[in-house]
Structure 1
Amino acid sequence: MLDQVATALAARDPGHPLRVGVDGVCGAGKTTFAAELAARLAKTERPVIHLDPDGFHNVRKIRYQRGRDSARGYYEDAFDFASLRRLTLEPLGPGGDLRYAAHVHDLATDEVEPRFAVAPRNAIVVFDETFLQRDELRACWDEVIFLDVPRRRAVERGVRRDSERLGGDDAARDAYERRYMAACDIYLTEQNPRARASIVIDNDDPQHPQLLLVRTGDAAN
């Protein structure tokens, strides 16, 4: 399945770096999938740039301005999508100069420290994060892969992954239900990202993902 997706993406040449977003709710498996996809793409003749989404958070003062439990706060304030668009996606898009920010914010120090690089014109850029098809970003993706996972399964994965960081299973489950997955519920309702994606994958079983839809080259507007 990964080979099929990589082949379809490598065949796309929009005249600038191909900007590929890997979308899905929290716990959908985006990070693992994006890393595996980037590795497959690297076997093609195209240069591959895999951006780390942790470099595009807002500073803590903005991230938690509505409170640490706020679902709307996570949806609206967690990520610096304005910088992602202005400093990264637009320079890589039509008419861009190819000089892009590979990193804007340091999550550990909470410092805003943009780091820039220059992309080859024929590069494939992979970026994985939730909420990628919000209104302000949707036009900046050439292809969007949506990982479709049942809500219950996504919560289970998220709790297992973040239990230690969030203070144990019970605290992690509460955080997911109140903030993270609740924010994803807002996103699914307001943006219908599955319907807008150009590639849809059933990732309920990450060891055996199923390709449900491929319409590369068809703008998901």
Structure 2
Amino acid sequence: MERSVLVSNIANRILSLKRLHPIRVGVSGITASGKTTFANELMEELRSRKVDVIRISIDNFHNPRIIRYRQGRESAIGYYEDAHDYDSFKQKLLIPLGPGGNLHYQIKSLDLATDEYVNPEIKTANIDMIFIIDGTFLFKKDLYNLFDVKIFVETDFELARKRGAKREEQAFGSFTKAEEMFLNRYHVASKLYLEQHTPQLDADIVINNNDLDNPFIV
């Protein structure tokens, strides 16, 4: 399916929902599956229809380095277990936006550059807002019920590894080193996520993103 058509169809599906609180759309997938790109495209499509969209990543809710790297900077288990501050993610963002929530939310809990906790302005949502949130481990069992729409972007590991290594080549100093990080850290953690939480089975929509020009709903 042509990419723009798929994005438009999913936007239609989201807009058909009726809720008494903001719609929380989660976009998950293995590292470098294309979830961030898809989430941005969905945001742009909805905004083109004059919808009030808030775009957030779970990466705004990282743990500080002392926690993130306590099992080693290249540890797959460390990435899987310690990268994100799920309590803050739930209490400051997802729960206030859900049923019975007070609509007061924060978009961030940690500044990655300074490695310091932050207390940004508390904002108040309108019930007709749509929040699009992406993250690799977004549909772990204690999180997935806090989304109104769950989208899983499915990409073969080999394709994702090559795309991701190309993207991170400069950050790691070479394509080879970046690919090693995907093989030994990011995608080992992603496989644990798929095995332990089966996010593709809990998702409302699963997108096969192997062909970037022609993704399709599984």
Specify the alignment match of 1:153 in structure 2: 159
- Per-residue CA deviation, residues 154-182 of structure 1 (Å, 9 max, x unaligned), is 11111011111112111111111111110
Aligned length in residues? 212
Superposed CA RMSD in Å reads 1.1
The alpha carbon displacement at 1:15 in A equals: 1.1
| 3-state DSSP of counterpart to 1:120 | coil
Q: Tell me which amino acid in the other structure corresponds to 1:47.
A: D
Instruction: Judging by fraction of residues, say which structure has more helix.
Output: 2
What does residue 210 of structure 2 align with?
Answer: 204
Matched, 1:76 2:48: no
Of 80, 97, 100, 1:95 maps to 100
* 1:16-27 pair list within 5 angstroms: 16-27=21-32
Equivalent in the alignment of 1:124: 130
Q: What's the CA shift for 1:188? A: 0.6
In structure 2, the gaps of 5 or more residues are 1-5
Gaps of 5+ in 1: 213-221
Q: Which TM-score applies when normalising by structure 1?
A: 0.93
- What is the deviation of 1:120? 1.0
| 1:20–1:127 CA contact under 8 A, matched in 2 | yes
From 64, 67, 79, the counterpart of 1:62: 67
Where does structure 1 differ by over 2 angstroms across 4 or more consecutive aligned residues? Answer: 43-46
- Could you say which residue in structure 2 is the equivalent of 1:32? 37
TM-score normalized with structure 2 length: 0.94
Indicate the larger mover: 25-34 or 113-122: 113-122
For residues 2-35 of structure 1, give each alpha carbon's deviation from its aligned partner in whole angstroms, at most 9, with x where no partner exists: 1000010011122101000001000101111111
Of all paired residues, the percent bearing the same amino acid is 39
Q: Distance in 2 between matches of 1:137 and 1:114?
A: 22
Match of 1:181 in 2: 187
C-alpha contact 1:49 1:125 (8 A) present in aligned 2: yes
